[in-house]
Amino acid sequence: MERVVITIARQYGSGGKTVGKMLANKLGIPWYSRDILKMASEKSGISEQLFMQFDEKLRNSLFQRMTTDIYTGELIPPSSSDFVSAKNLFNYQAEVIKHLADTQGCVIIGRAADFVLKDYPNVVSVFVHGSEEFNLARAMEQNSMTEDEMKKFIAKTDKYRAQFYKHYTGREWTDARNYDLCLNSSKLGFEKCVEEILSYIKVRF
């Protein structure tokens, strides 16, 4: 397999992004996360600010209703009043994700990329999680919040990620059946998480 794409979903504080960066460095391939928003903006012609607002604001509005609008792959044309809707902003992010998977090996963090690329044979999907204590300790190292504030922030962030995933995929974010690998970073550590992913790639491909 010439191009392998690794998607990483992760609990807040589990170090999934760190694992993704380390894996990308090990494989000599790029990794993508929030920069997909800028790429989607360039592709669509829609302001990057709108993508940023979509990324930040929906956690306080749309997903509270726990609706689903499962991604099917169609783009809404500029002539439509829904061109800059949340649905179409996600559609354009998905287009970027598919283009990346079509053209290069890479690591993609978040963005429900495992679902967007579910029919791609060259994709390895990973979910990184950790114990509550581990995730809290790591998050506290990187943020100036009290412990109680941090606990609430972690819960809110993971709830948003779960609702975002459910909205666009119809699936449960923490369901192990959605992923090729589920790794507990609080037991393995980051280096061994990377080793496990590399071992899986070697066996599978």
Predicted confidence at residue 136, as pLDDT, reads: 97
Q: Is the pLDDT of residue 150 over 70?
A: yes
Q: Is the pLDDT of residue 1 over 60?
A: no
More confident residue, 61 or 88: 88
Q: Which domain holds residue 164?
A: 5-204
3-state secondary structure (DSSP) of residue 171:
coil
Question: Is the alpha carbon torsion for 68, 121, 178, 134 positive or negative?
Answer: negative
pTM of the shown model: 0.93
Q: Report the distance separating Cα 21 and Cα 6, nearest Å.
A: 11
Return the CATH number at 141: 3.40.50.300
Q: What is the pLDDT of residues 155-171, one digit of tens each?
A: 999 988 998 899 899 99
Residue % of the chain over a pLDDT of 90? 81
Q: What is the pLDDT of residues 100-124, one digit of tens each?
A: 999 999 999 999 999 999 999 999 9
Total domains present in the chain: 1
Q: Report the distance separating Cα 191 and Cα 188, nearest Å.
A: 8
